[in-house]
Amino acid sequence: MLKTTDLIVFLIYFVIVSAYGIYIYRRKKRQEETAADFFLAEGSLTWWAIGASLIASNISAEQFIGMSGSGFKLGLAISAYEWLAAASLIVVAIFFMPIYLKNKIFTMPQFLKTRYNETVALIMAVFWLFLYVAVNLTSILFLGTLAINSLTGGAHFHLIMIGLAAFALIITLGGMKVIGYTDVIQVLVLIIGGLVTTYIALTMVSDYFGLGKSVLAGFNKLMTEAPEHFKMIFDKPGPGASASEMSNYLDLPGVTMLIAGMWIANLNYWGCNQYITQRALGADLKTARTGILFAGFLKLIMPIIVVLPGIAAYVLFKNGQLQEQMAAGGTVNADNAYSAILAFLPTGLKGLSMAALTAAIVASLAGKANSISTIYTLDIYKKYVKKDASEKKLLWMGRVVIVVALLIAILANWNDLLGIGGAGGFIFIQKYTGYVSPAIFSVFLLGFFWKGNTSRAAIAGVIVGVVIMILFDKYLPGIAGNHTWLYTAFPNTNGVYEIPFMVSMGWAFFFSIVLMVIISFFDKKERLQTKGLEVDTKMFRVSNSTLVMSLVIIGVLLALYIIFW
């Protein structure tokens, strides 16, 4: 339970973020507010604000609770999402961002309209709105509420959920500039608070084994007590493999995920995602690139904050500790790992860690709500509902959409309609986002770099990509068997055979690409009329500072994979 000191620390955090947000908003209001300013903070975010905002919006309960829970279950291997994200950010900074900025792209549906046509843009806008509201916004709010509710005694779930949504609403209604600059404080709080939690977790381990309160001794003890939790690549299960080995491989299918699924997930998320890219779309190329690479550096340290506490909780639980916290109701729930560690923080530090967790949740909710508002207002409302809408009307509609989106998330979570509580939080989000990401990324990739891809091919690619994901995930093992040249299916925790969803993502991406190339090849008339984008190889040249930052990130990643392969 939180003590008075913890509540005071949390209140100080709340007052600082709110006051700074009000200050930024009032300073912005000295000039007439425009839609571009509200949705994109056009030209006003610095590189450090862009980088911090990317991380603050990305790191949420999805990581603190979901990824920490996956650390408890899977170990360091789940860090691939974070570490390969750093590599993906290099690709986005060098190759994707110049194309967006050169062609004055402000939303992802606008990109699709510019590159293809209105139909493609509308289909994808609807896809994104459904995904952002039904999966991302809802799951972030649910997991965040679950964690804070556990930390505060477990009796105020609905009240906490409404409070988180209200806090996010206050920040979001100020527009992207307020979000971007308050995110600087949010990311500072979440990193400091997260490192404090990791420190406590490691010293708990070292103290339990009689090694004193030493972070290094605690880390070394984790490696000796749970060596299987420090393996980045899982081997493909063979005959006689245990249920846990097969379950782990379903989530992270070894080298296969490095070839296909993980890259698709990361490049789509960081490069073709309104929620992320809009932070850099209002900046010049140098500022955008530096901010994105700064975010890449921050991604390298995230597993220290979100994965190590989960592994520490696993080692302590295995040795008879945290039984009450991890097995509430008689069933072990890996997503309780982070809050189980938080329960042992000293007074004051518990308040700081709750502030860090709240910062991550609120920043992600605000960013996601703003993206939902941006897509609906600029790509649906302005184009199809009110074509002559004034700036004032667009701003009003944008704020209404934010409120509606958060209300939908609250209603969906009131009785856990989506069943998020019954699944691993992080894997739940990744899996259902993965239903659409291969199709989306294939359309963007060909749209970037091949002028010949037609709008009809893009529509077919999107539809077929989603259908293939559903086919692979739900039906193919029952139709074609559990082992073919395309895949090997393994039994999940319920005994039902599944194809690893990252393998499914790889094949969905591949078949979408092949289909679009074939359709475009035979659709010669439209192919010749396709306008494409303004692309010049000079756009991809990088400054010395960008090159050095990129090489350092790559060097660190290679070292990490060599050590923990």
Span of 231-240, 328-337, 339-348, 475-484 with lowest mean pLDDT:
328-337
Span of 45-49, 149-153, 263-267 with lowest mean pLDDT:
149-153
Average pLDDT over residues 354-370: 77
Residue 276 corresponds to which tokens in the numbers above? 């992320």
Whether the pLDDT of residue 424 is over 60: the answer is: no
Average pLDDT over residues 487-506: 86
Query: Mean pLDDT in the chain?
Result: 81
Average pLDDT over residues 365-392: 82
Looking at residue 136, its pLDDT comes to 80
What percent of the chain has pLDDT above 70? 85
Looking at residue 90, its pLDDT comes to 94
Confidence label for 16 from pLDDT (cuts 50, 70 and 90): confident
Helix, strand, or coil (residue 319): coil
Q: Which carries the bigger pLDDT value, residue 7 or residue 268?
A: 268
Calpha distance 55→187 (Å, rounded): 7
Confidence label for 56 from pLDDT (cuts 50, 70 and 90): confident
Confidence label for 556 from pLDDT (cuts 50, 70 and 90): very high
Average pLDDT over residues 173-191: 67
Q: Which carries the bigger pLDDT value, residue 323 or residue 148?
A: 148
Whether the pLDDT of residue 187 is over 80: the answer is: no
| The 3-state secondary structure of 209-267, one letter per residue | CCCCCCHHHHHHHHHHHCHHHHCCCCCCCCCCCCHHHHHHHHHCCHHHHHHCHHHHHHH
Looking at residue 437, its pLDDT comes to 86
CA proximity to 202, closest of 350, 308, 292: 308
Calpha distance 335→327 (Å, rounded): 11
Whether the pLDDT of residue 36 is over 80: the answer is: no
Looking at residue 234, its pLDDT comes to 87
Q: Which carries the bigger pLDDT value, residue 199 or residue 191?
A: 199
Residue 468 corresponds to which tokens in the numbers above? 């293939």
R_g of the chain computed on alpha carbons? 23
Give pTM, 2 decimals.
0.81
CB 182 within 8 A of CB 171: yes
What percent of the chain has pLDDT above 90? 14
Residue 390 corresponds to which tokens in the numbers above? 């004034």
Whether the pLDDT of residue 449 is over 90: the answer is: no
Average pLDDT over residues 443-450: 88
Whether the pLDDT of residue 547 is over 90: the answer is: yes
Looking at residue 262, its pLDDT comes to 85
State phi, psi for 350 to the nearest 5 degrees. Answer: -65, -40
Per-residue pLDDT reduced to its tens digit, 260-278? 788 888 898 888 877 677 7
Looking at residue 330, its pLDDT comes to 60
Helix, strand, or coil (residue 242): coil
Looking at residue 532, its pLDDT comes to 66
Average pLDDT over residues 384-407: 84
Span of 50-54, 176-180, 295-299, 384-388 with lowest mean pLDDT:
176-180
Average pLDDT over residues 289-318: 90
Q: By CB neighbour count within 10 A (0-12 exposed, 13-18 middle, 19+ buried), where does 208 fall?
A: middle
Looking at residue 553, its pLDDT comes to 95
| Number of Cβ atoms within 10 Å of the Cβ of 123 | 18
Whether the pLDDT of residue 391 is over 80: the answer is: no
Looking at residue 296, its pLDDT comes to 93
Average pLDDT over residues 480-493: 87
Looking at residue 154, its pLDDT comes to 66
Average pLDDT over residues 42-50: 70
Residue extents of the structural domains in the chain: 4-433+535-564, 434-534
CA proximity to 543, closest of 279, 293, 267, 270: 293
Q: Which carries the bigger pLDDT value, residue 563 or residue 139?
A: 563
Calpha distance 501→21 (Å, rounded): 40
Please, what's the b/e burial string for 376-408 (b: 16 or more CB within 10 A of its CB; e: otherwise)? bbbbbbbbeeeeebeeeebbebbbebbeebbee
Calpha distance 397→395 (Å, rounded): 5
Looking at residue 91, its pLDDT comes to 92
Looking at residue 407, its pLDDT comes to 92
Q: Domain 4-433+535-564 classified CATH 1.20.1730.10? A: yes
